[in-house]
Structure 1
Amino acid sequence: MPELPEVEIVRQSLNKKISKKKVKKVIIRNKNLRIKIPNNFGKFIENKIVKNVSRFSKYLIINFPNNQYCLIHLGMSGTIHFIKNNDKKYKSNLSFYHSPFLPEKHNHVELIFNKFRIIYNDPRRFGFFQIITSFSDLEKKFAHLGPEPFNKKFDLNYFYQYSKGKNKKIRDLLIDQKFVSGIGNIYANEILFLCRIKPYKKIKFLNKENFNQIIINSKKILSEAINKGGSSIKDFKNTEGDKGGFQDNFKVYQREGLTCKRFSCRGKIIKKRIGNRSIFFCNSCQI
Structure 2
Amino acid sequence: MPELPEVEIVRQSLHKKIKKKSIKKVIIRNRNLRFKIPSDFESFLKNKKIIEVSRFSKYLIIHFQNEDYFLIHLGMSGTIHILDKKKPLKFTNTSFYHSPFLPKKHNHAEFIFDSLKVIYNDPRRFGFFEIINNYQDLQKRFKLMGPEPFSDKFNLNYVVNYFKKKNKDIKSFLLDQRFVSGIGNIYASEILFASKINPFKKAKRLNKNECLDIISNSKKILQQAINKGGSSIRDFKDISGNKGTFQKEFKVYQQEGANCKRTKCKGIIKKKITSNRSTFFCVSCQK
Do these two structures clear the TM 0.5 threshold for a shared fold by scoring above it?
Answer: yes
CA distance in 1, matches of 2:49, 2:236: 28
Gaps of 5+ in 1: none
Q: Which residue of 1 aligns with 2:39?
A: 39
Moved more, 237-246 or 64-73: 237-246
Report how far residue 204 of structure 1 moved: 2.1
What is the deviation of 1:35?
A: 1.2
Write out aligned runs for 1:246-285 (5 A): 246-285=246-285
Deviations 1:129-148 (A, max 9, x none): 11111011111111110000
Letter aligned with residue 230 of structure 2: G
CA separation in 2, counterparts of 1:173 and 1:238?
31
> How many residue pairs are counted as aligned between the two chains?
287
Contact 2:78/2:120 (<8 A) preserved: yes
Deviates most, 235-244 or 173-182: 235-244
Give the corresponding residue for 1:143: 143
Residue 111 of structure 2 is matched in structure 1 by 111
Q: Give the drift of 1:91.
A: 4.7
Distance in 1 (CA, whole Å) between partners of 2:114 and 2:255 is 46
Using the alignment, how far apart are the partners of 1:2 and 1:93 within structure 2? 13
Amino acid across the alignment from 2:53:
V
Shift in Å, 1:88: 9.4
Tell me what 1:76 maps to. 76
Distance 1:135 1:129, change over 3 A: same
Structure 1 counterpart of 2:99? 99
Between the aligned partners of 1:4 and 1:95, the Cα distance in structure 2 is 12
Q: Secondary structure at the match of 2:105?
A: helix
After superposition, the C-alpha distances for 1:135-194 in whole angstroms (9 at most, x for unaligned) are 111111111100000110111110011111111010000110000000011000000001
Question: Is the contact made by 1:100 and 1:235 (CA closer than 8 Å) also made in structure 2?
Answer: no
| Partner amino acid, structure 1, of 2:117 | R
Contact 2:78–2:122 under 8 Å retained in 1: yes
The yes-or-no answer on 1:172 pairing with 2:179 is no
Task: Judge conservation of contact 1:83–1:90 (CA < 8 Å) in 2.
Answer: no
1:33-52 per-residue CA deviation (whole Å, 9 max, x = no partner) reads 01111111111111111101
In the superposition, relative to structure 1, how do residues 71 and 65 fare at CA in structure 2: closer, same or farther (>3 Å)?
same
* Identity of matched residues, %: 64
Of 228-237 and 189-198, deviating more is: 228-237
Match of 2:61 in 1: 61
3-state DSSP class of the match of 2:278? strand
Distance in 2, matches of 1:144 and 1:31, equals 27
Q: Deviations over 1:244-276 (max 9, x none)?
A: 111000000000111111111111110111211
- Would the aligned equivalents of 2:83 and 2:116 in 1 still touch at CA under 8 Å? yes
Query: What value does the CA root-mean-square deviation take over the aligned residues?
Result: 1.6
Q: Which amino acid aligns with 1:180?
A: V
Structure 2: runs of 5 or more not aligned: none
- The answer to whether the 8 Å contact 2:89/2:239 transfers is no
Residue 86 of structure 1: how far off its partner (Å): 8.1
Task: Work out the CA distance in 2 between the residues paired with 1:112 and 1:37.
Answer: 17
Tell whether 2:12 aligns with 1:9.
no
- SS of alignment partner, residue 50 of structure 2: coil
Which is further off, 265-274 or 118-127? 265-274
Aligned-pair CA distance for 1:215? 0.4
Report if aligned partners of 1:98, 1:235 keep a CA contact under 8 Å in 2.
no
Aligned partners of 1:107 and 1:69: how far apart in 2? 22
> Which range is displaced more, 223-232 or 98-107?
98-107
> 2-side partners of 1:170 and 1:127: how far apart?
27
Partner SS, residue 125 of structure 2: coil
Inter-partner Cα distance in structure 2 for 1:42 and 1:29: 11
Provide closer, same or farther for how the CA distance between residues 4 and 89 of structure 1 changes in structure 2, counting only shifts above 3 A.
Answer: closer
User: Aligned to 1:82, what secondary structure does the other structure show?
Assistant: strand
